[in-house]
Structure 1
Amino acid sequence: MKITVVGLGVIGGSFVKALKGKGYEVYGVDVNVETLREAEKEGCIIKGYVDPHEIIPETDLTIISLYPSLVLDFLRDNTFKKGSIISDAVGIKSYFLEKALSIIPDDVEYISMHPMAGREKKGYAYASKDVFKDANFIVIQHEANKPESIAFMEGFAHEMGFHSVKIMSPYDHDEIISFTSQLPHAIAVSLINSDDEKYDTGKYIGDSFRELTRIANINEDLWSELFLNNKKYLLKSIERFEEKLNVLKDAIREDDEDGLKAQFIESTKRRERL
């Protein structure tokens, strides 16, 4: 099987590194020639291309690892092999899936996926197959998908080291991801930006602050797209979080020790179940 990964950044680069030695013919597409040469040198891809038209028409599985706004442009600008599968690895699905399905021909299947893994840094230099090890993976299913194709993607994820694979609709995906991924990023950004910088903060932090703000080191172009194109679900998640934060505020304001302890007990139980 010929697999071409489009965009060898952190996620796309991790795909080609995770596929190394798995028996696939793996190729890469990227605008950065140095990135392609590095991937070739490491043996992660057979050959790299700046022009996707040289390899996409021969590809059995195309994994598009680009910003959401660029996925549709790529679909419009390329001709895909009859009977092949196209996938993407972007963090939101419902807003563009219907458009994607209207662009591709009927003899090509589209199966979107979401590897629940990543790093704060950008670029191939920060890619690693280890980022996928024991991570969660989501396969997005729609009515035109063949059961055997979904089963292939599930097995494909396990091959790359993912542990849990869930199959769900694009709408269910966007709702849960607004809570488990986008809300934590919103909290981290708000937390670190709320620092009044009265003190030399870095000299007073421990693991809790360090871990909570790790993802505040954020790719502004990518995450602006993710937030704005999933705002329906994200705003609801933020509002639920605000309600719970207000419960703590009220308990503190009113010296409600029992109320605080009840919240702490509940959070401890939930975290242990998780």
Structure 2
Amino acid sequence: MKVGIVGLGLIGGSLAKAYKDADVTVFGIDKDDLITRFALMAEAIDERLDDNNMKDCDLILVAINPVEAVKWFRENAPQIGKDTIVIDCCGTKRTVCRACFDIADQYGLTYMGGHPMAGKERGGFKHSSAGLFWNAPFILVPKHHDDMELMCRVKEMIMLAGFGRIGITTSEEHDKVIAFTSQMPHIISNGFIKSETALDDSQMISAGSYQDFTRVAYLDEKMWTQLFMENRDFLSEEIRGLIGQLTRYEEALEAADPDRLMKLLAEGKACKTAVLKKCGPQQINGE
């Protein structure tokens, strides 16, 4: 099997290392040639991905931002083999899938959206690891959901990188859910750490919840800004909902009303219990 990887940051670099560990031939390329050369030296990839070997790939994973992913696919579609499956790994799906489905139709190629549901607070090839995706879910967004032969083929290739399960959804549903499970935690954490209290020796008297809650405040602002803006409708809706809930807590505190506060806390606890019963302990989440 031969896999091409476009973009050798945290996600692409980890995919390259995971496939190499699975004895797969890996072709890779990054817009920063220094990163590409470093990946070659580190033996994370076998060769550069180029026009000569692109057509030989069974699978090409495009692990760059949505705008660049569409641009790359449009520019390289003529060189991609007809039997190659192209999957983007972007954090939002509506914009990239809409454009790439059209490009695939134009050139007679097989493309579907994808999202490896794992990550770290620090990006870049130097933080990539072969085990990043171990037992994690990989979400697929195909244009047609009824081609079971294709889906089985894709599942087999994806699972080689260590993923534990494959989920199939639409771009609309993906972006709605990801606004809550991934983007909201980053927004909340990033805003929470701006409190002046954070600089007042707070870590001297903090418990594990503080560290957990602020972990993703350290983010790549350029990348996340693009993802947030692409998903601003769903994300804004989630933010408004949270502000409404927080206002209820604030009002209970301002009114010195312990009964109302206890009721609010019990409601949240009950919601968490309901989620666990429905989804189980291994809920789909993302960085």
What's the TM-score, normalizing by structure 2? 0.86
The residue that corresponds to 2:117 in the other structure is 116
The residue that corresponds to 2:263 in the other structure is 262
Within 5 Å, which residues of 2 pair with 1:94-105? 94-104=94-104, 105=106
| Aligned-residue offset at 1:132 | 0.8
Within 5 Å, which residues of 2 pair with 1:50-61? 52-61=50-59
Measure the CA separation in 2 of the matches of 1:58 and 1:236: 44
Q: Secondary structure at the match of 1:13?
A: helix
Amino acid across the alignment from 2:64 = L
Measure the CA separation in 2 of the matches of 1:11 and 1:18: 10
The residue that corresponds to 1:47 in the other structure is 47
- Range moving further from structure 2, 170-179 or 56-65: 56-65
Measure the CA separation in 1 of the matches of 2:199 and 2:217: 20
Query: Is the Cα contact below 8 Å between 2:12 and 2:63 reproduced in 1?
Result: yes
The residue that corresponds to 2:73 in the other structure is 75
Q: Secondary structure at the match of 1:62?
A: strand
Measure the CA separation in 2 of the matches of 1:270 and 1:160: 34
Within 5 Å, which residues of 2 pair with 1:216-255? 216-255=217-256
What's the TM-score, normalizing by structure 1? 0.90
Q: 1:59 to 1:265 in 2, by over 3 A?
A: same
Measure the CA separation in 2 of the matches of 1:158 and 1:258: 50
| Aligned-residue offset at 1:90 | 0.6
The residue that corresponds to 2:36 in the other structure is 36
Q: 1:58 to 1:162 in 2, by over 3 A?
A: closer
The superposition leaves residues 51-71 of structure 1 with CA deviations (integer Å, 9 ceiling, x where unpaired) of x33432332211001111101
Is 1:17 the equivalent of 2:8? no
Q: 1:236 to 1:159 in 2, by over 3 A?
A: same
| Aligned-residue offset at 1:133 | 1.5
The residue that corresponds to 2:186 in the other structure is 185
Amino acid across the alignment from 1:155 = E
| Aligned-residue offset at 1:198 | 6.7
Q: 1:56 to 1:196 in 2, by over 3 A?
A: same
Unaligned runs of 5+ in 2: 282-287
User: How many residues are paired up?
Assistant: 272
The superposition leaves residues 17-48 of structure 1 with CA deviations (integer Å, 9 ceiling, x where unpaired) of 11123242211111333433333344332112
Query: Is the Cα contact below 8 Å between 1:82 and 1:107 reproduced in 2?
Result: yes
| Aligned-residue offset at 1:144 | 7.7
Say which of 55, 63, 66 aligns to 2:64. 66
Query: Is the Cα contact below 8 Å between 1:64 and 1:87 reproduced in 2?
Result: yes
Unaligned runs of 5+ in 1: none
CA-atom RMSD, angstroms? 2.1
Q: 1:198 to 1:146 in 2, by over 3 A?
A: closer
Measure the CA separation in 2 of the matches of 1:59 and 1:185: 35
The residue that corresponds to 2:284 in the other structure is none
Q: Secondary structure at the match of 2:193?
A: helix
Q: 1:195 to 1:32 in 2, by over 3 A?
A: same
Amino acid across the alignment from 1:239 = R
The superposition leaves residues 109-138 of structure 1 with CA deviations (integer Å, 9 ceiling, x where unpaired) of 111110111112221110012221122221
Query: Is the Cα contact below 8 Å between 1:139 and 1:150 reproduced in 2?
Result: no
